[in-house]
Each structure stands twice: as structure tokens, then as C-alpha cells.
Structure 1
Amino acid sequence: MEEKKKYQIQTSPFVVPTDDGKVIKEHFGLASDGNSKISIAHMVAPPGWSEPFQTPEFDEYTFIIKGKKQFIIDNETIVLEAGQSIKVEKNTRLQYSNPFTEACEYIAICLPAFSMDAVNRER
């Protein structure tokens, strides 16, 4: 009887289709391996990128690898730089953007996992 491995190496993350130039590679989560408890994604937001305001039903942790990323959280504007991180609690209205001249590379972790149904983007 073969013993089940107690680890999983992700070598082919799910590349989320986008139409705004943002690169999203989900390593673990609903889209990549069906995990609804957590999602971990590697992202690159191009200069000038932004998303609509949203009120996610999940906690989101962001760690900036390169560049800068702007957050508008409850009408407060926060800019994070490489090496900094933030946790935004679920049910918080916020907007993510990169109004800067350099791409922003970062890791996003959502608990529970990211889903379009739970992000509640404004139109």
C-alpha cells in the first residue's frame, strides 16, 4: 500500500484570465486545487492599474515583493512598498490600485479562499 504524501508542490498555478493587464497566478485556492479554506496567489499589477471598490467576505493578507500598491480602506489611503505587508479584515470596503510608474509584484492570501461570489465588487 502506497503512503499518501503529506505535501503538495505547485508547479502549474492557475492563471486567472484578466482584461486589465494584471497577472494573477493562483497557487492554492478554489480555481487551482479546489481549496475553499485558503487561497494563495502571486500577482503583478501593471502601472496605472486599479479595481473597483469591493467589500470581501474574507480576510486578505498582502505582501509586497516589488514596487508599491495603493489601498483605500474606509476612505483612508495607504501605500505599501516592497517588504511591507497588510491584513485587511473581511467585510471592509476597500479599493486596490497601482497609480505608480512601476509594476507592483505581490502575494495575496485570502481566508477563506478568494471567490468572485465573495469579493462583492461594486459596479
Structure 2
Amino acid sequence: MSKKYQVQKSPFVVPTTDGKLIEEHFGRATDGNSQVSIAHMIAPPGWSEPFQTPEFDEYTYIIRGKKQFIIDNEKVILESGQSIKIKKNTRVQYANPFESECEYIAICLPAFSMEYVHREEL
């Protein structure tokens, strides 16, 4: 009989060049799941990504610190204990322009993929 659950003890650590820690617990890189991805992230002070227009909904829950979102030219700042849903096909930039790191959970439906994120060139 197969197990009806899966405990994730060794998430896939996504290689980055910007100092951000990305640990995918479930998703394409970890278990081949294309329906949902769940990742634990730590963004260092001063971190930012290029604008992107993903083909997936993204939910973010802030564990500690603050994170800045620029959503269709509107600046939104979330703090510990707050969350947000950004609908697919929305232009967004994620950043941590603050002095301390930001720890958060990101959930993407369907799962995150570089093919579907559509990051803009800097």
C-alpha cells in the first residue's frame, strides 16, 4: 500500500546568483509537480528581481522582515504575518530594499517555472 502523505525533509535548493535562498519543498524541481509549488525563501537586504508577468497565481506569506511589491506601478509593502495573492498575468517586481532580510513562503498555482515567469531584461 502506498503512503497517503509525503514528508519533505530535503527541499531542492535553487541555485541563485543574487544572494537569495530558495528552498522548493514541492514543485517541478523537487517532485515534478506542475500543479503547485511551495518554496521557503530568504531575501537579503537590498535584493530585487526584474519585473515579470507570470502565467501563474502567486501567494506570498511573510514570516519575518518586510518585502516590497510593485504591482502594475503600485508599491505595496508587506510585513511579518501579512500575505498577498497576485493574479497571473500581472506585471510585478519583488524586492527587499530594507536593512534586514525577509523570510517568506511563496506558493505558485500552477507551479513556478522559468518558462512561465516572463522576467524582463534589466
TM-score (norm 1): 0.98
One of 19, 30, 33 as aligned partner of 1:35? 33
Q: How many residues align?
A: 121
Aligned-residue offset at 1:74 = 0.5
Task: Find the counterpart in structure 2 of residue 49 from structure 1.
Answer: 47
- Aligned CA RMSD, in angstroms, stands at 0.2
Aligned-residue offset at 1:95 = 0.1
Q: Secondary structure at the match of 1:54?
A: coil
One of 17, 22, 25 as aligned partner of 1:24? 22
- 1:1-123 equivalences in 2 (<5 Å): 3-123=1-121
Aligned-residue offset at 1:46 = 0.1
Aligned-residue offset at 1:47 = 0.1
For 2:113 and 2:73, locate their aligned partners in 1 and report how far apart those are by CA, in whole Å. 24
* 1:30-50 residue CA offsets vs partner (Å, 9 max, x unmatched): 000000000000000000000
**Which consecutive residues of structure 1, in runs of 5 or more, have no partner in the other structure?**
none
TM-score (norm 2): 0.99
**Which consecutive residues of structure 2, in runs of 5 or more, have no partner in the other structure?**
none
Give the partner amino acid of 1:68: K
Give the partner amino acid of 1:10: Q
Q: Pick the structure with greater CA Rg.
A: 1
